Amino acid sequence: MLNNWGALSAGLPEDILKAKWAGDFERAQRMIDLRLKDPRLPETLRESLRMEKTILDRLPAEYTLTREAALSQAQERISGMTEEEFDRLELEGKLDYIYVLGEKRYYRRVVNTLVKVYPDLAARAGRPFPDKPTQLDDMIARMMQIGRAALRIHMRHTVTIDDEAFTPGETYTVHIPIPMPAAQIRDVRVLTQDEGMIVAPEDQPQRTVCFARKLDANAPFTVEYEYVCDARYADLSKPARGVVYPDATPVRPEDTMELRPHMTFTPYMRSLAAELAGGETDPLKVARRFYDFCTTRIVYSFVRSYLTIENGSEYAAINLKGDCGLQTLCFITLCRIAGIPARWQAGLYVEPGDVGNHDWAQFYVEGYGWLFCDCSFGGSGWRKGNMTRWNFYFGNLDPWRMVSNADYQSDFYPPKKHVRIDPYDNQCGEIETPTRGLTAYECDCDWDILSMEPID
């Protein structure tokens, strides 16, 4: 199976685990191949080992910097960076690395994390955190005053194949994310018309449009779409005055269930949920405690691809770091353990002049209905001392969103034949040929906001 990623919860036999984290990936692959021939293996462990082979293939590409290269990058970008400071940052857990055949290899975006997250380092890199209101703060203030903000957004999404990965005469199948109706999303229209194009149903959990073309010359794949994002403000300091998003999908049984491997109710996550909740029983207050943990104690960090992380929620909760997706997974898992319905939502952040991949959560509280939680944006507000922004993103969301994923770890329609770049989430798109799937380094995506009109 291509999507039995839940089997990763079985873990690795100790000898293979040792080879993996020593960075002897070739040996680990050989050990797995031999172990797969053992008829005694339980099927779940067999599936786990098969999935692990894909992780071992991908992992080295995430850690490309030698110590010398990582230090050089840090010194080039951050004024006054010394080798001693670099070593201290590493001891403090702020530099992500693995061992490859006994030598350290640092994560390819390790310096980007330092500059994005830590105010003193950002200032020394010439990128100080802003101390003036931004257009995001203006939007938040407007929503808090008026109670909602709705925008009609017209976008173009382009996916391209890297020239070095292109083969003339090959047939390429491309999945490009498109918007779906959601709690805050309506009036979705796919504007591109192409013969043979397959548009996934509106209720597909990860919605895409699929093209299959034989290309004699390299050419981009594009799709245009239009939708309305209607964001509403809920003042959670006051009693509920009715359901905030009446069109949201009702609560489902799976909204309080495990979803292995990334939303697993491990003993640590259960203990953490109990510790954070304390004796509190009010779901809204409990969810707020989980949000505070995810925004003030889990430090935003760029991380390796989700495919190479076996349990995203626990990774964030143990390492106390993670990007928007891992922070979201942690929040959702804690909520579900506590019996608070919670689910995934993801797609794009489309603020004018700033479009990019993003993940956030929904959680359900009786009286309010489904509310939003953006741990990444909230954590950014907290780091910058912007308490209004920090508090806003517990319960609320701005209108600069495109939703293409309403669930985590779901198949495309039609499904891919080969392992996806990201088998859990999808914002950029995926490309494959009849014989293989292209890697993240062999394709690229871009977005253009063609128009954005406010709706009264």
Percent of the chain with pLDDT over 70: 99
* pLDDT tens, residue by residue, 327-363: 999 999 999 999 999 999 999 999 999 999 999 999 9
SS (H, E, C) 157-170: EEEEECHHHCCCCE
Confidence at residue 440, expressed as pLDDT on a 0 to 100 scale: 95
DSSP summary character for residue 259: B
Query: Got the DSSP string for 49-116?
Result: HHHHHHHHHHHHHH--B-HHHHHHHHHHHSTT--HHHHHHHHHTT-S-EEEETTEEEE-TTHHHHHHH
* pLDDT tens, residue by residue, 157-213: 999 999 999 999 999 999 999 999 999 999 999 999 998 899 999 999 999 999 999
Cβ partners under 8 Å of residue 361, min gap 6: 328, 331, 332, 335, 342, 343, 344, 345, 372, 373, 374, 375
Cβ partners under 8 Å of residue 298, min gap 6: 316, 317, 320, 321, 322, 326, 327, 330, 375, 379
Determine how β-strand 321-322 pairs with β-strand 299-300.
parallel
pLDDT reading at 3 higher than 90? no
Asked if 147-228+411-455 and 237-405 have one fold, the answer is no
Instruction: Give the domain ranges of the chain.
Output: 5-62, 67-124, 147-228+411-455, 237-405
* pLDDT tens, residue by residue, 299-311: 999 999 999 999 9
- CATH class of segment(s) 147-228+411-455: mainly beta
Question: If you average pLDDT over residues 104-132, what whole number do you get?
Answer: 94
Confidence at residue 184, expressed as pLDDT on a 0 to 100 scale: 98
SS3 396: coil
| Report field, pTM of the whole predicted structure over 0.85 | yes
Confidence at residue 132, expressed as pLDDT on a 0 to 100 scale: 77
Distance between CA atoms of 183 and 193, rounded to whole angstroms? Answer: 27
SS3 322: strand
ω into 250 cis (within 30 of 0)? no
- CATH class of segment(s) 237-405: alpha beta
User: Any idea what the Cα angle at residue 60 is, between residues 55 and 63, rounded to 5°?
Assistant: 120
Mean pLDDT, the chain, integer: 96
pLDDT reading at 292 higher than 90? yes
Determine how β-strand 97-100 pairs with β-strand 354-365.
unpaired
Determine how β-strand 148-161 pairs with β-strand 394-395.
unpaired
Phi-psi map region of 169: left, alpha, beta (phi>0 left; psi -120 to 50 alpha)? left
Distance between CA atoms of 414 and 156, rounded to whole angstroms? Answer: 22
Residue 131 pLDDT class (50, 70, 90 cuts): confident
Confidence at residue 309, expressed as pLDDT on a 0 to 100 scale: 97
Question: If you average pLDDT over residues 433-448, what whole number do you get?
Answer: 97
Percent of the chain with pLDDT over 90: 97
Confidence at residue 130, expressed as pLDDT on a 0 to 100 scale: 82
CA 255 to chain centre: 18
Confidence at residue 129, expressed as pLDDT on a 0 to 100 scale: 87
Distance between CA atoms of 386 and 405, rounded to whole angstroms? Answer: 29
What the block records as the tokens of 422 is 């990201």
Q: Which residue has the tokens 């172990």?
A: 35
Confidence at residue 1, expressed as pLDDT on a 0 to 100 scale: 40
Cβ partners under 8 Å of residue 346, min gap 6: 325, 328, 357, 358, 359, 360, 403, 404, 405, 425, 427
